[in-house]
Amino acid sequence: MLKIIDRYIIKKFLSTFFFMLGVIMLLAMVFDVSEKLSEFISNKAPMSEIIFDYYVNFILFYGNTFSSMIIFISVIWFTAKMAQDTEIIPIWFSGRPITRFLRPYMIGATILMILSFVLNHFIVPRSSKVRLAFEEKYYRDILSVEDYQAEYPGNEMVYFSNYTSSENQIHDLTIQKWNDENEPIYFFRARTVKSIPGTNRWTVKDYYEKNYEFPKGRLVHGSKKDTTFSFTLEEIAQRENVAETMTYSELTRLIEREKIKGSSLVPTYEIELHQRTSYPFAAYILTIMGVSVSSRKKRGGIGVNVAIGLTIVFVYIFSMKMLTVASMNVGLPAIISVWMPNMMFAFAAYILYRFSQK
């Protein structure tokens, strides 16, 4: 049963969070518009698409991404304000343990954590698909892939020299297949190939293919034909942020497929997958830290608490980025690089929590 103080703190928590979220997203939109306005005008992007396809989904993505940090700053802000107004002193002197004071904070953090978790895994990926499609159409640079090589299931090796999204065709495609005894069974080469959008059907030009059939092989040469491959254009020519557009099940399938191919992007995709859970969970840790550093009245006022909070946020982001780089370049497992900042700050939160009791 929630008491008056519980409802009061939860209301303060949520209202401060959404107010700060709105202010920060408004500032982010202003900076983003100033950077991209000339491209929007030159590419004749419709105002309706700018607002609903891009900026609505922009707010969803970046607001959710930085929600844990905003939770932290919000907790510090309104808790420090309560401390300055001596609203917390009667609670401290009521004789109840600090865990009772933390309860409404944890309820508020749970509400925001569940919201962020659902957004991360189910809603934001779909909204990001719309946002990135808009960027691809009106803003992004031309996608270019050079010297692509990957191994697909069924002992199939795929290689091509280059692809650009402006030309929308692949040059010098080569496909080779082997049997389980590592003997060649198929070879295909084409000067240019073009995908039929949304399918694994392709139009190839100036091609030849060879089947190593016993007792003799068969060589076919032609100028043009329609055929199917085991892969689509989206698989072999995609931007690194394609993982942002995938739900949990889609992303796990992508990771398994990229592992078979030996793709260098596997750590990037694994980091994206684990961050979708670790970021919402960080709301609990940062809430405890925020209460611990701001629940006492300080001589410097609220500004001191905010400065402490911003310093902690900076250290958290720095450690997160440093471990992400280690995962991609040194081989540190993605799950460790993503969860280690939470573990480190959970320990720091415990120390601050114990100190705040004294």
- State whether 36 and 117 are in the same domain: yes
- State whether 232 and 95 are in the same domain: no
Does 247 fall in a domain?
Answer: no
- State whether 192 and 166 are in the same domain: yes
**What is the model's pLDDT at position 193?**
92
Does 30 fall in a domain?
Answer: yes
**What is the model's pLDDT at position 294?**
80
**What is the model's pLDDT at position 157?**
86
pLDDT digits (tens, 9 = 90+) for 77-112: 888 888 777 777 776 666 666 777 888 999 999 999
Does 319 fall in a domain?
Answer: yes
- State whether 130 and 275 are in the same domain: yes
**What is the model's pLDDT at position 215?**
61
**What is the model's pLDDT at position 290?**
86
**What is the model's pLDDT at position 59?**
94
- State whether 234 and 305 are in the same domain: no
Rg (CA), the chain: 27
Does 315 fall in a domain?
Answer: yes
Domain around 216: 144-238
The mean pLDDT values, 10 residues at a time, for the chain of 358 residues are: 85 94 94 90 90 93 90 88 76 69 91 93 91 85 79 83 84 88 86 84 90 73 87 76 85 84 81 89 89 72 68 78 76 86 86 72
- State whether 111 and 191 are in the same domain: no
Domain count, the chain: 2
- State whether 46 and 107 are in the same domain: yes
Contacts of 324 (CB under 8 A, 6+ apart): 271, 337, 338
